[in-house]
Amino acid sequence: MCGICGILNLSRDRLPAEDLQAMSSVLGHRGPDDQGKLVSGPVALGFRRLSILDLSRGHQPMCNEERNVWIAFNGEIYNHAELRPGLQKRGHRFTSNSDTETIVHLYEEYGDDCVRHLRGMFAFAIWDARYNRLFCARDRLGIKPFYFAMVGNRFAFASEIKALFELRDFNARLNRSALPEFFTFGYLSAEETLYKNVYKLLPGHCLCLELDSDNARPQITQYWDLNSSAPERSPSEADCISRFRDLFAETVRSHLMSDVPLGVFLSGGLDSSSIAAVMASLKKEPIQTFSVGYEESQYSELPYARAVAKHIGAEAHEVILGPDDFFASLPRLIWHEDEPLVWPSSVALFFVSRLASEKVKVVLTGEGGDELFAGYLKYRVALWNLRGGPLYRKFVPRFLQQVVRKALSSGLGPDWALRKLRHSFLYHPDSFEQIYFDNFYAAFPQHQQPLLFTPALNDEVRDVNAYANAMRYFPRNGWNGNSLNRLLYMDIKTYLVELLMKQDQMSMAASIESRVPFLDHKVVEFAASLPARYKLRFSSGKYLLRKAMARDLPPEVLRRNKKGFPTPIRPWLRNQLFERLSAVLTDGRMAERRLIEPGYIQHLLTAHRQGDSAATEGCWRLLNFELWCRIFLDRDAKVANSVAAHKQPALSKSDVVRQSETLLPS
């Protein structure tokens, strides 16, 4: 796991080394073990290393024998040892045992098709001096990040957005047209980011830029997509379970490739517990597990994590997170994610990553299992609504439908009951966007945004469809009528990509590498080929995974419902943290931006304090957005060059204060 960055000058002039050094420095937390650079004519490649494989010879940028093909690579290639003999037979000479060198020789042999041979997580840039050509690629699922921008006549890329702002004459600016989608989902599903003129290379895509071309601009192509069509004839259940057990064990084994200590994040849920159990069966010594919990027992999954750790004979480590540490960490973690935090679980993930960094340099995590095997409740509810809604509209009189909806909108009744009923077709119309997105994602559904935004912003974004980017990945027809696989495909292309960004940035903030065995593309393709009944059965998700792991995990873990890094954010923000939340949202600085209506903020705070969970979600979204504005758009303050609690190297001009009165009033 590393940090990469680079610049290509389209005018072919030599680049000053200072710009590259500034970009590399701001990525120091991603690679504290080593750094390297290549500055050659119009190209500059930068690299920060977290040493995992071939510790003495894995220095980058790395080149071929003739020193005319160079690479800066972030990730791990799990099949690099299998690829090496074939390349050697074709005459390629290796000077290291690094997986990085395998990519270089694959590119020499297969050109852009080299990516099709790779099994792993990766983001890389190859400079081919023979043809004045830059070739960049991102792994199939988006496990590793890759951001880019055109800055004048320079193309620049980096593992984190903040590195791009180290370039002269390029500052962070708000992408105002993205605000409807951001305030609906909390993230953007397409190429754009919250920063104007900064883009992400989408998963399964590659980018090429040729200086000798008549049009020396980035050319982006897709090299992989997921086929989620259910087969006409599916294998038997026993055969699917057997095939999955073999594939999953082989995948976890490949993810143990390392020359440094490994561990596993263990929540006590089915996904992380499955990985921990298989990992324990493959290791001779006890594995190291890392878990996070809270003093509020109803939110803490530590009892389940302890039960799994005891069952598999692991050495368990825990960290307890409280409201003060949680709130104080927000500015620093927003700085690491480059965008507003979407989920409170980002904070928990950072603290458990920091705990793990005291023992290991690599962790395996359970990310992706829910999107592959339908673990979230939202899939079951969405299918129920899509099937039951039309019947309800057909047979229940319209006036009675209106009475029911008005009653649910009134707010009268227990919040938990209203929340459940508002997830049903009793509250939502037959619009898929409202049944699915507004139901499970939206802090501010688009139909509410005229109240949230100022009149000027409403006029500016009037024609923006907040749901359009996500709906690109929800085919209306085809796939043998498999509605569940269509939902899973869309989430893999959108929601999961944001989860993986969180996973990457929060683990790298603590300088550790996280690996996601469920998202090995062979496992993903296998899961996508399964019929829905092997995922959802008797209103329970992950049917096949539960069956496959029945011999390896305690019954209470196999039976439990999905929680997913729960955080006591609602009680904290309503009680211990309310004054600090209110101070950020009402001190006048948000109003000065003329984006959000001040009166609506007061309405939200009141409803939040009274127990309205939807208002709490809205307050959380606004809190993180405002802190992000102060950190990146206002450049509110500089961070101290050394923060002992985070063990960070000196940072650069993008630094922010970990906790200051201007960001977080006490």
pLDDT, tens digit, 9 for 90 and up, residues 434-455:
889 988 889 999 999 999 999 9
Q: Is the pLDDT of residue 584 over 90?
A: yes
Query: Residue 633 carries which DSSP code?
Result: I
User: Could you tell me if 343 and 327 are in contact, meaning their C-beta atoms sit under 8 angstroms apart?
Assistant: no
Q: At what angle do helices 330-337 and 495-509 cross, to 10 degrees?
A: 120
Q: Specify the pLDDT at position 360.
A: 94
Topology adopted by domain 227-666 = Rossmann fold (3.40.50)
Q: What is the CATH number of domain 2-222?
A: 3.60.20.10
Q: What is the pLDDT of residues 339-375, one digit of tens each?
A: 999 999 999 999 999 999 999 999 999 999 999 999 9
pLDDT of residue 338: 97
| Residues 368 and 275: beta-carbon distance below 8 Å | no
Confidence of residue 638 (pLDDT cuts 50, 70, 90): very low
| Contact partners, residue 334, CB within 8 Å, separation at least 6 | 340, 341, 624, 627, 628, 631
Between 622 and 13, residue with greater pLDDT: 622
Query: Would you state the pLDDT for residue 613?
Result: 87
Task: Determine which of 134-148, 288-302, 486-500 has the lowest per-residue pLDDT on average.
Answer: 288-302
pTM as predicted:
0.92
| Phi, psi of 35, rounded to the nearest 5 degrees | -145, 155
pLDDT tens digits for range 50-82 = 887 666 677 889 999 999 999 999 999 999 999
Structure tokens at 585: 């949202």
389-425: pLDDT as tens digits: 888 888 888 888 888 888 877 777 777 777 778 778 8
pLDDT on residue 300: 86
Which pLDDT value is given to residue 646? 38
Q: Which two tokens stand for residue 252?
A: 């976890």
Q: Are 513 and 265 within 8 A, CB to CB? A: no
Residue 662: what pLDDT? 30
Q: Token pair for residue 553?
A: 């995990």
Name residue 525's amino acid.
Answer: E
- Give the CA count within 13 Å in the CB-facing half-sphere of 317: 19
Q: Do residues 190 and 30 lie in contact, with contact meaning Cβ atoms separated by under 8 Å? A: no
Cα-flanking dihedrals φ and ψ of residue 291, to 5°? -135, 155
Q: Is residue 3 scored above 90 in pLDDT?
A: yes
What is d(CA 203, CA 222) in angstroms, rounded to the nearest whole number? 8
Query: Would you state the pLDDT for residue 53?
Result: 67
Structural domain boundaries in the chain: 2-222, 227-666
- Catalytic residue ranges: 2
- Position 661 pLDDT exceeds 70: no
**pLDDT for position 397:** 87
Which pLDDT value is given to residue 647?
A: 39
